[in-house]
C-alpha cells in the first residue's frame, strides 16, 4: 500500500480541534436484538401456521477455545428465537470422509434448514471443500461458490452473514443509498466482495480497496459510506474520512487490555474517537457490526426454511 495523507480543509481542521462535531453511534447490539425479535416472530408463525420448526446445525471440529465460545453463542441465540439447534462436535483428527458423511446426513435431514461448519478447521481438512459439500440451499453462512455466484449475478441465494448485517445497518441508517460513493477496504470472499455486491445492488458506486490500493487515504476520503474490513487496529484515520460520512467498522483486533492485567480488549480498524468527530455516523467496536453476524445467521436460517417449504420469505431479513 502507498501511504499518503489526505489534507484537512480549514473547516475540518476546526471541527477536529474544537471537538464540535460528534457522529451518531450505531448501536449494533440493539439492532441485532431487534433482528432476533423479528426472527422469533417468524419462527412462532411457522410453528403455529405450518407446524414447522426451523433448524440450524453447527459442526465443530476440534477444541479451539474461541470456536467453542462462538458455537455456544450461536446455540444459545438459536434456542432463544425458538429454533431447533443441532450441535455436532467432532474430534480434531476426524477424517474428511467422516466429516463429509455427517454433512451429507445433515443435507438430507428435513429438520435441518441451515448448516455451518465453524472455521478454522484443522489443517488436514480443506475449508473450501467443506463449504462445497454443504447443500447451497442450507449454506446459511453464504460462503459457497454457488451462493457467491448467485449474489454476483443478482439472483436469489443466501448471503454471507456479516455483509448482510452491515447492509441492514446501512439501510436502517440511510434508507435509499442510490448514488452514494461506497468504499470498502478489504477484498476477502468472506466479507469485502459480498459487501461490494450488496452495495452495488443498492445502487451505490462501489470501490473495493485492498493492500495494493494506491493512496488509500484519498480513496477513502471520497466515501459517503466507508466500510473497513482489514484487521489492522485503528488504521483508518480522521483525515481519511469525508465529513458526514457513514463508517462501518468490521475489523476486530484483540490486544492486551492497557488497564486490566490478564484481560484483553477489542479494537476496530477505525481510529474511533478522532474519526467520530468527522463522520456523521459510525459503528463502535465492540457493539457495532459484531452482534449482527449471529442475528443474520438466524435470519438466513428462517429464510432457508421458508424457501425449502415453498413459503413466502420473511420481509426485511434478506438482501
User: Which one of residues 57, 103, 148, 229 is an interface residue with ligand NAP (CB under 6 A)?
Assistant: 229
290 binds ligand NAP (CB under 6 A): yes
Q: What b-and-e string marks burial along 168-199, b requiring 16 or more CB atoms within 10 Å of the CB?
A: bbbeebbeebeebbbbbbbbeebbbbbbbbbb
Catalytic residue among 38, 77, 139, 141: 141
Residues 130, 132, 137, 142, CA torsion sign: positive
Count the site residues for ligand NAP by CB under 6 A.
25
238 binds ligand NAP, rule: CB under 6 A: no
Q: Does residue 220 belong to the site contacting ligand NAP (CB under 6 A)?
A: no
Q: Which of 82, 231, 243, 274 binds ligand NAP (CB under 6 A)?
A: 231
**Binding of residue 132 to ligand NAP (CB under 6 A):** no
Of the pair 12, 249, the CB lying nearest ligand NAP is at 249
* 55/251 with CB nearer ligand NAP: 251
Instruction: Determine whether 29 is an active site residue.
Output: no
Q: Is 45 helix (H, G, I), strand (E, B) or coil?
A: helix
* Distance between start and end Cα atoms, the chain: 32
Stretch that binds ligand NAP, among 146-154, 166-174, 205-213, 259-267 (CB under 6 A): 205-213
User: What's the burial of 253, exposed, middle or buried (CB within 10 Å: 0-12/13-18/19+)?
Assistant: middle
Asked if residue 260 binds ligand NAP (CB under 6 A), the reply is: no
Which residues neighbour 30 within 8 Å (Cβ) at sequence distance 6 or greater?
Answer: none
Is 269 designated active site?
Answer: no
Give the binding site for ligand NAP (CB under 6 A): 1, 162, 185-188, 190-192, 209-213, 216, 229-232, 250-252, 289-290, 293
Q: Hey, which residues are catalytic here?
A: 74, 118, 141
Amino acid at each position: 500500500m502507498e501511504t499518503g495523507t489526505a489534507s484537512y480543509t480549514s473547516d475540518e481542521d476546526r471541527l477536529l480541534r474544537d471537538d464540535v462535531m460528534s457522529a451518531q453511534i450505531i448501536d449494533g447490539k440493539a439492532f441485532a436484538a431487534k433482528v432476533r425479535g423479528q426472527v422469533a416472530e417468524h419462527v412462532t408463525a411457522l410453528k403455529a401456521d405450518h407446524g414447522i420448526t426451523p433448524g440450524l446445525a453447527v459442526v465443530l471440529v476440534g477444541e479451539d477455545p474461541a470456536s467453542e465460545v462462538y458455537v455456544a453463542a450461536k446455540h444459545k441465540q438459536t434456542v432463544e428465537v425458538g429454533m431447533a439447534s443441532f450441535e455436532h462436535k467432532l474430534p480434531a483428527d476426524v477424517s474428511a470422509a467422516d466429516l463429509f458423511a455427517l454433512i451429507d446426513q445433515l443435507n438430507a435431514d428435513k429438520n435441518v434448514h441451515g448448516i455451518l461448519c465453524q472455521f478454522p478447521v484443522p489443517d488436514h481438512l480443506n475449508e473450501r471443500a467443506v463449504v462445497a459439500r454443504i447443500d447451497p440451499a442450507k449454506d446459511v453462512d453464504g460462503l459457497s461458490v454457488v451462493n457467491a455466484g448467485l449474489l454476483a449475478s443478482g439472483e436469489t441465494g443466501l448471503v454471507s452473514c456479516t455483509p448482510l448485517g452491515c447492509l441492514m445497518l446501512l439501510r436502517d441508517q440511510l434508507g435509499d443509498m442510490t448514488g452514494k460513493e461506497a468504499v470498502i477496504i478489504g477484498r476477502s470472499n468472506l466479507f469485502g466482495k459480498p459487501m461490494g455486491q450488496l452495495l452495488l445492488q443498492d445502487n451505490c458506486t462501489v470501490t473495493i480497496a485492498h493492500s495494493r490500493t494506491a493512496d488509500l487515504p484519498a480513496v477513502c476520503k471520497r466515501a459517503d459510506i466507508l466500510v473497513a474490513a482489514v484487521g489492522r487496529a485503528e488504521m483508518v484515520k480522521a483525515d481519511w474520512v469525508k465529513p458526514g460520512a457513514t463508517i462501518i467498522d468490521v475489523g476486530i483486533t484483540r490486544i492486551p487490555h492497557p488497564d486490566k492485567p490478564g484481560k484483553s480488549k477489542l479494537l476496530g480498524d477505525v481510529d474511533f474517537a478522532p474519526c467520530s468527530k468527522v463522520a456523521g455516523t459510525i459503528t463502535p467496536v465492540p457493539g457495532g457490526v459484531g452482534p449482527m453476524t449471529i442475528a443474520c445467521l438466524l435470519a438466513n436460517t428462517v429464510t432457508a426454511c421458508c424457501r425449502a417449504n415453498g413459503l413466502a420469505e420473511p420481509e426485511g431479513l434478506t438482501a
